[in-house]
Amino acid sequence: AETGYDLWLRYAPLAPSQAQRYAPHFRYLVADTTRPTLAAAVQELDRGLGRMLGSPPAHAGAVQGNGGIVLATADSPLLSGLDLPLAPLGREGFLIRSVAMPGGRVILVAGNSDAGVLYGTFRLLRLLQLQQPIDALAVADAPKLQLRVLDHWDNLDRYVERGYAGQSLWDWQKLPGYTDPRYTDYARANASIGINATVLNNVNANADILTAPYLQKVKALAGVFRPYGIRVYLTARFSAPIEIGGLKTADPLDPAVRAWWKAKADEIYAVIPDFGGFLVKANSEGQPGPSDYKRSHADGANMLADALAPHGGVVMWRAFVYSEHNDADRHKQASEEFVPLDGKFRDNVLLQVKNGAIDFQPREPFHPLFGAMPKTPLMLEVQITKEYLGFATHLAYLGTMWEEVLESDTFRPRAGSTVAKVLETPVAPRALTGMAGVANIGTDINWSGSQFDQANWYAYGRLAWDPDARAVDIARDWARLTWSADSAIADPIVAMMMESREAVVNYMTPLGLGHLMATGHHYGPAPWVSDLARPEWNPAYYHRADANGIGFDRTPTGTNALGQYAPEVAKRWGDLKTVPDRLLLWFHHVPWDYRMRSGGTLWDRLVAQYDAGITTVEDMQRRWSTLDGKIDARRWAEVRDFLAIQRQEAQWWRDASIAYWQSVSHRPLPAGHLPPP
């Protein structure tokens, strides 16, 4: 029975007529399989073509007639007669072409590196899975960002922070002696969507991973991932020199501390020559950092950057900082801390910025740091795991959420400078670019905790490759690859996906509300909580509801967090006449009887949004029920049951939230409010 283990690489057998159409193009293949990455590409073709067409291609040493496939890099003698526009595609780009070679017509997959060829191979397989024509192939593609990273929040005891898919995949106890074959499947899945970096451990983890025995285990994983073009990175706990180095301080300007990190970097590279570098969470939520020694984030990041630079490693320094000792609106704290440091970081430092200024809410406006640090490479960090969106049971396709962020116009330096453009445009020639996604992967047989959460892993990879890609196109590909290429099946699935995130926004945090989840675990509603020691952890801090109204005034009459955005943005969102409804209460405190521009009072509209959230979940249930019997029973039933949980919990959110708002607003429920079933 289908379990979901195969993800979007199911390679479902094609109907005989389809198979007959493709088979003549794949009689044999030519590739230098002494090169590990090309060997991985060949294995994937054997697996994919074997399953889809019924038999894998023959392995040949040379072009031998029409109907072959050739994998080659730019320096291969096979390409000598062909004038191919490979140079502009960079190290990881590829071409797929139908070409005439001496000896026969073939499909050529070419790149400037073996990794490029591997990406091209996965793309070719995708074309077949999607049943596209392949008679006159002329595909050229290259990633728009250099670092396409998965961040694992995995601890060494295999507990995954904010993970809802079982334990950590990394079985440290059995490593390095035993490398689970699943690590290879993990690498295949990532390579198929272009992910080229993995941070193996949690930003909150202790420093043990940097000790010699663990580095041997990391080396074993790096060895599995290397053929798939994936480099390994680790988090660097700032206090490691004290905790595992025996020093008295971790002061980044202390020579002994600097020497310790340099020696540590040298040690790591001696074990893992292509080690990627460090990810750091410093002076955030209790983690140690340079501020402990009155040093700046730049001092801290640059010390690590200097240790890594001789080996080509990079530092990804997180901008997720806020403090209970700072009275400023939490929304403003990261920008206040980092904007003055623009231009003060080494070239091998990237600043990793969450999509919004608070914390991975179902909806947030884009982070004001995007566009505000023109001299510093900024990475976008998104959360694939659904900490604030119902964990694994609620269906929420996040492609639409990330698209909304990526297409937001920062107006910096000019109109049209979307977040995507900020990410894609290097701040100097050869400057780094990248995106990071907090992984939703664990030991569950379906990897992600639910069938539909696989789509978020997939969409993340596709958007890190091309931040301008459209969420609907990605959803369509994923649905066809994962469920069925038959549009009678895929279309309703895409429709469900496209409406799913807005449903969650509506039943959890409509009209620009945010951070109303229960304390700690963040599952379920708790807008009434206001007594936690740290003020900015209280839902009440965010909604500010009282008898008069609701919402957080971030205009100049309030905290003026809006002042951190470009004037065009501040003007539009700061004015009640132009702020979109979806961000109304994020930026404004308005009376309960405020007249919405679209008609009706805020109160009536608020209640209606909750109702709409439930209605959409019911729509999703209806669409799913029409697929009964048309897809494999096990996956179908799992989704049906999860949707039932979501329906019930959407109502929990609605009823608890409205009851609380009503206790504050003292308004009657509007006519037409859906009664509980």
Looking at the annotation, which residues are catalytic?
285, 359, 387
CB 281, min distance to ligand GCW, A: 5
**Shortest CB 438 distance to ligand GCW, Å:** 7
List the alpha helices (DSSP H) in 389-545: 399-406, 419-424, 454-465, 471-482, 487-508, 539-543
CB of 389 to ligand GCW, least distance (A): 12
CB of 538 to ligand GCW, least distance (A): 15
Alpha carbons within 13 angstroms on the beta-carbon side of residue 138 total: 4
Residue 144 or 318: the one with the smaller Cβ distance to ligand GCW is 318
Strands 94-101 and 138-141: antiparallel
| Smallest separation, CB 362 to ligand GCW (Å) | 13
Q: How far is the CB of 537 from ligand GCW (least distance, A)?
A: 10
Q: Measured from the CB atom, is 161 or 342 closer to ligand GCW?
A: 161
User: What's the CA gap between 76 and 109, in Å, rounded?
Assistant: 12
- Report the C-alpha gap between 203 and 438 in whole angstroms: 10
The CA–CA distances, whole Å, from 417 to 143, 165, 365, 420, 655 equal 19, 37, 15, 8, 41
> What's the rounded Cα separation, in Å, for the pair 494 and 500?
10
* Helix H or strand E encompassing 429: none
The DSSP string of 469-487 is --HHHHHHHHHHHHT-S-H
Closer residue to ligand GCW in complex, CB, 360/447: 360
Rounded CA separation 568/565 (Å): 8
CA dist list (Å): 649 to 625, 661, 670:
19, 18, 22
Supply 625's token pair: 């029920």
Residue closer to ligand GCW (CB basis): 275 or 360: 360
Of the two residues 112 and 235, which places its CB atom closer to ligand GCW in the complex? Answer: 235
92-120 burial code (b ≥16 CB/10 A, e <16): bbbbbbebebeebebbbbbbbbbbbbbbb
Q: Which is nearer to ligand GCW, 5 or 159 (CB)?
A: 159
Distance between CA atoms of residues 103 and 670, nearest Å: 76
> Rounded to the nearest whole angstrom, what is the least distance from the CB of residue 671 to ligand GCW in the complex?
39
Q: Minimal distance in Å, beta carbon 520 to ligand GCW? A: 9
CB of 648 to ligand GCW, least distance (A): 25
CA separation for the pair 381, 320 (Å, rounded) = 10
360 or 586, CB closer to ligand GCW? 360
Where is 154: in which H helix or E strand?
none
Angstrom distance (rounded) from CA 608 to CA 329: 29
Q: From the CB of 159, what's the least distance to ligand GCW, in Å?
A: 12
Q: What are the residues whose beta carbons fall under 8 Å from the beta carbon of 34, sequence distance 6 or more?
A: none
Q: Which is nearer to ligand GCW, 358 or 607 (CB)?
A: 358
The tokens for 133 are 């024509």
Contacts 24+ apart (CB under 8 A), 322-326: 322/284, 322/536, 323/283, 324/533, 324/534, 324/535, 324/536
User: Can you tell me the distance from the alpha carbon of 46 to that of 198, in angstroms, rounded to the nearest whole number?
Assistant: 26
- Whether 290 and 238 have beta carbons less than 8 Å apart is answered as yes
- Residues of this chain that bind ligand GCW (CB under 6 A): 153, 161-162, 203-204, 281, 285, 320, 359-360, 387
Rounded to whole angstroms, the Cα distance separating 365 from 367 reads 6
Phi, psi of 522 (to 5 degrees): 70, 25
Return the number of the residue (281 or 572) whose C-beta is nearest ligand GCW: 281
Bridge partners of 517, per DSSP, are: 525
Cα–Cα distance for residue pair 123/105, rounded to 1 Å:
20
Question: Which structure tokens are listed for 493?
Answer: 């699935």
Euclidean distance between CA atoms 396 and 386, whole angstroms: 8
Report the nearest approach of ligand GCW to the CB of residue 202 (Å): 6
Q: What CA–CA distances, in Å, run from 544 to 88, 529, 548?
A: 53, 11, 10
H or E segment to which residue 297 belongs = helix 297-308
- Whichever of 153 and 552 has its CB closer to ligand GCW, that residue is 153
Nearest to 402 by CA among 339, 337, 446, 455: 455
- The residue among 25 and 522 lying less far from ligand GCW, judged by its C-beta, is 522
Alpha-carbon distances, residue 323 vs 205, 318, 331, 371, 664 (angstroms): 20, 15, 11, 23, 29
Chain residue whose CB lies nearest ligand GCW: 359
CB of 465 to ligand GCW, least distance (A): 23
**Cα–Cα distance for residue pair 638/147, rounded to 1 Å:** 35
State which residue, 320 or 507, has the beta carbon closest to ligand GCW.
320
The kind and range of the H/E element at 72 are strand 68-73
